[in-house]
Structure 1
Amino acid sequence: MSATAPTAPSGRGTADLEADVIIVGAGPAGSAAAVHMARSGLDVLLLEKTSFPREKVCGDGLTPRAVKQLADLGVPFDGDGWIRNRGLRIVGGGVRLELPWPELASYPGFGLVRTRYDFDRILADRARACGAKLMERTNVREPLIDPRTGRVQGVRATGADGEEVRYRAPLVIAADGNSSRLSVALGIRKRDDRPMGVAVRTYFESPRHEDDYLESWLELWDGTGGRQVLLPGYGWVFGVGDGTCNVGLGILNSTSAFQDVDYRRLLKRWTQSMPEEWGFTEENRRGSVRGAALPMGFNRTPHYSRGLMLVGDAGGMVNPFNGEGIAYALEAGAIAADVAVQALSRPTVQTRERALMRYPEVLRDAYGGYYTLGRTFVKMIGNPEFMKYATRYGLPQRTLMRFALKMLANLTEPSHGDAMDRVINGMSRMAPAA
């Protein structure tokens, strides 16, 4: 569609390069959007500030929601480096419960684990194979804003050679993560009324590396301040299949103890309490302990403003129920692409803008009510007494936990599901999509 396909700058100085869509950030959200847009015939420029492969802080676990999106993207996941899992194992309150992923027509009955070290590269390569132009080591510094209209009309970036480059497009996608420099530049800042989490993780050589269940520990105790406090969050053990396990924990900010927690110390204490034969020792640790923020429940809005669309962590799209971000990043990329393709086919600026303004509405329809329920859940588990009661009396109830798995992982049939599906879907529809 664009008259000038984006090419790398040559020579010294500043160049203006054009595309139909500029996507800033080649994580799951940005690459997914690039795949769908490029397959629809748009000229897509995908800008990534680092180079692949690269390490990202993540649990590396993919639920059936994410697996469905990978299939839609045409990403093969049967080769080396992928390990399938059958469901979720929950540990807490003296109970060890294995819950298979629900059998649904809308989602596959298995999850996956793949390290982010090359998972993001696989997605970016898929975008490139579909026709998007990927430019690595390109650091976007700020949006280009039309002084007459106030609309974003591109970005200013520094290329791998240190030169400044201007890229122009009628639409820019902010897939630039939790800090989202582009969003901040437009005054779209984080909302204090939405939950935030912190995740820390590392890898250990372990005989558990081929475990076919994702494992979640629901009781995290911290001794900060001389007393034991039950924290809102969970620990995880995900077998990676390469001789190592991804071991980490995620904590929510719904308790007063959040600011005082030493996450790395807590992770070390927790892993030291594990059975010796699992190998979660300093001698077996591979790589550093790294942490990252988890922006949840639409903690940055609006998701569209003046030619800029937000996807993934830039729009705070992590599920408040379980801290899952990849599935929603991939889905948001597809939603953004659908809206963008429709908008850019319109003949005038006014009709394009009306189509683009639908994006926040589509996101609210898809996730708004469910995320509202998730924010309520976050407040509830911030109460230590509720957490103690839930783990002690809830975990032994297998039917209740099957319901909880569907609820927390957002795995229901949209229609014609069972009674659990109808209850969860009904609650999501009735909850206000704020």
Structure 2
Amino acid sequence: MPAAPVADEADVLVVGAGPAGASVSHYLAQQGHRVIVLEKSRFPRDKVCGDGLTPRAVAELIRMGVPTREEDGWIRNHGLRTSGAGHRIEIPWPELSSMPSYGLARARTSLDETLARHAEASGADLREGVSVTGAVRHERTGRVVGVTARPVDEKGRRAGDEVTYRAPLVVDAGGVSARLATSVGIEKDAGRPMGVAIRTYFRTPRHDDPMMESFLELWDGKPGESNLQPGYGWIFALGDGTANVGLGTLSPTATPTRLDYKGLFATWMQNVPEEWGFTPENQVGELRSAALPMAFNRKPHYANGLLLVGDAGGMVSPFNGEGIAYALQSGRIAADVMGQALARSSDYERVKALRTYPRIMADELGGYFTLGRGFAHLISHPRIMRACVRYGLPRPVLMEFVMKLLADGYDPRGGDWMDRVIAALAKAAPVS
């Protein structure tokens, strides 16, 4: 079979234009490199997510120079309201030197396009409606030197012939499926935690709530008559008349939990106050679910010319299912490493620079994710989960510490005693 014709060449090919792909493309383009971004969908496109950004994610947006004004469609939130076991507590986001004291919310239908267009404005060459079909590897070294791809229509159907894109460096930013990484033998680790998120939207008078809200009691039947599930429900106000309402569950391994997620969501909706308006008549869009790959469940993050960023590398927190912050962070770090590598004068020096990427990511997040894996195992036991909710929520100081830990809202290089304790735990935790 003849080789697919070469459609174009670049310094770096990025597969996927979600937050991770947009981040790495933005930073590389700012450095002056030719970056081609291949995105299967066409914007605007949706992604199952809570639509909430923690202060850590906001700090990454600020670094990118993304405008986050209210008139641009963003809504700020100033803390977390948590309910469970008859208790409710509100904790403001901490004031830290490394991140702002507010979070943001924005529907992924507009967030992802905003970030992709920002990368495009920085100089990245964004090509929508292009589905990557496989890796192109050097016949002698096995190094990834490009991808094959074909155009697709709005429904994902083939709309043209297969072509080849070539570059000395390729980035898989393709999300949880990580098809490019899988095609070259980088498989997920079934022993790492896996989450599932399910969400929809409701028209609600709570659309401008200044707090993110989480509910720590998810029952698979009537409360008190069945098990408390590991996970939480959320309400994230979007400021446009609607709120993102969903739940996330957690398994300590990638083994399917066989939970009835839609039933779990329906049970929760039956027990919320009527005045919130979470009724079928007010529901906007269908109830959709997605997997959350956690705690570096796919490695190595660099091998043979291919780098993994964001969900493709399992960069979702086992503590709370947060992925956007780490997608943006990994894109920034990967771009810096690739920029250094592209400036080297020999293959040996380039590879030496590229091999620092997984080490940096391990240093930044490895210990924290290890703590999260322990947390996932702990709350998988209903009795422990119930005790944590019942006895933890009434204690404000303990809950402030827990929020900093679960939301990754601590300053690793200073801050108060809570920050120092969490930083010490993360540093002491083994990285694997």
Question: Which deviates more from structure 2 when the two are superposed, residues 46-55 or residues 254-263?
Answer: 254-263
3-state DSSP class of the match of 1:229? Answer: coil
Shift of the alpha carbon at 1:407?
0.6
Query: Which residue in 2 is equivalent to 1:234?
Result: 232
Q: Is the 8 A contact 2:235 2:244 kept in 1?
A: yes
CA–CA separation in structure 1 for the residues paired with 2:266 and 2:254:
22
Alignment of 1:38 onto 2:29? yes
Shift of the alpha carbon at 1:256?
11
Query: Which residue in 2 is equivalent to 1:351?
Result: 349
3-state DSSP class of the match of 1:231? Answer: coil
Residue identity opposite 1:133 in structure 2: D
Query: Which residue in 2 is equivalent to 1:84?
Result: 76
Shift of the alpha carbon at 1:163?
2.2
Describe the superposition over 1:210-247 as per-residue Cα deviations: whole angstroms up to 9, x where unpaired.
000000000100039x9511100000011111111100
Question: Which deviates more from structure 2 when the two are superposed, residues 246-255 or residues 56-65?
Answer: 246-255
Q: Which one of 81, 93, 116 corresponds to residue 101 of structure 1?
A: 93
Q: Which one of 14, 39, 57 corresponds to residue 23 of structure 1?
A: 14
Alignment of 1:293 onto 2:291? yes
CA–CA separation in structure 2 for the residues paired with 1:201 and 1:419:
36
Q: Which one of 122, 131, 143 corresponds to residue 130 of structure 1?
A: 122
CA–CA separation in structure 2 for the residues paired with 1:139 and 1:128:
19
CA–CA separation in structure 2 for the residues paired with 1:286 and 1:432:
44
3-state DSSP class of the match of 1:109? Answer: coil
Alignment of 1:140 onto 2:132? yes
CA–CA separation in structure 1 for the residues paired with 2:125 and 2:348:
28
1:143-158 → structure 2 map (5 Å cutoff): 143-158=135-150
Residue identity opposite 1:143 in structure 2: A
CA RMSD of aligned residues (A): 1.5
Alignment of 1:252 onto 2:243? no
Q: Is the 8 A contact 1:251 1:258 kept in 2?
A: no
CA–CA separation in structure 2 for the residues paired with 1:257 and 1:98:
34
Query: Which residue in 2 is equivalent to 1:370?
Result: 368
1:260-279 → structure 2 map (5 Å cutoff): 260-279=258-277
3-state DSSP class of the match of 1:259? Answer: coil
Going from structure 1 to structure 2, the CA distance change for 1:256 and 1:63 (only over 3 Å counts) comes to closer
CA–CA separation in structure 2 for the residues paired with 1:341 and 1:384:
47
Residue identity opposite 1:392 in structure 2: R
CA–CA separation in structure 1 for the residues paired with 2:255 and 2:171:
36
1:213-224 → structure 2 map (5 Å cutoff): 213-223=211-221
Query: Which residue in 1 is equivalent to 2:155?
Result: none
Residue identity opposite 1:106 in structure 2: S
TM-score, normalised to structure 2, is 0.95
Describe the superposition over 1:96-143 as per-residue Cα deviations: whole angstroms up to 9, x where unpaired.
100100011111010000000010000010011000000000000001
Going from structure 1 to structure 2, the CA distance change for 1:256 and 1:223 (only over 3 Å counts) comes to farther
Runs of 4+ in 1 over 2 A off after TM superposition: 13-16, 254-260
Q: Is the 8 A contact 1:255 1:383 kept in 2?
A: no
Shift of the alpha carbon at 1:257?
10
Q: Is the 8 A contact 1:203 1:285 kept in 2?
A: yes
Question: Which deviates more from structure 2 when the two are superposed, residues 262-271 or residues 59-68?
Answer: 262-271
Query: Which residue in 2 is equivalent to 1:431?
Result: 429
3-state DSSP class of the match of 1:286? Answer: strand
Identity of aligned residues (%): 55
Q: Is the 8 A contact 1:14 1:163 kept in 2?
A: no
CA–CA separation in structure 2 for the residues paired with 1:205 and 1:283:
9
Q: Which one of 178, 186, 189 corresponds to residue 187 of structure 2?
A: 189
3-state DSSP class of the match of 1:222? Answer: coil
CA–CA separation in structure 2 for the residues paired with 1:415 and 1:275:
42
TM-score, normalised to structure 1, is 0.95
CA–CA separation in structure 2 for the residues paired with 1:241 and 1:379:
36
Residue identity opposite 2:143 in structure 1: R
Query: Which residue in 1 is equivalent to 2:156?
Result: none
Q: Which one of 401, 404, 419 corresponds to residue 403 of structure 1?
A: 401
Q: Is the 8 A contact 2:190 2:253 kept in 1?
A: no
Shift of the alpha carbon at 1:351?
1.0
Q: Which one of 373, 377, 380 corresponds to residue 378 of structure 2?
A: 380
CA–CA separation in structure 1 for the residues paired with 2:255 and 2:147:
40
Query: Which residue in 2 is equivalent to 1:68?
Result: 59
Q: Which one of 59, 62, 66 corresponds to residue 50 of structure 2?
A: 59
CA–CA separation in structure 2 for the residues paired with 1:379 and 1:184:
27
CA–CA separation in structure 2 for the residues paired with 1:391 and 1:222:
16
CA–CA separation in structure 2 for the residues paired with 1:48 and 1:111:
28
Describe the superposition over 1:17-70 as per-residue Cα deviations: whole angstroms up to 9, x where unpaired.
110000000000000000011001110001100000001100000000111111
Question: Which deviates more from structure 2 when the two are superposed, residues 259-268 or residues 417-426?
Answer: 259-268
Q: Is the 8 A contact 2:150 2:160 kept in 1?
A: yes
Alignment of 1:324 onto 2:315? no
Residue identity opposite 1:222 in structure 2: D
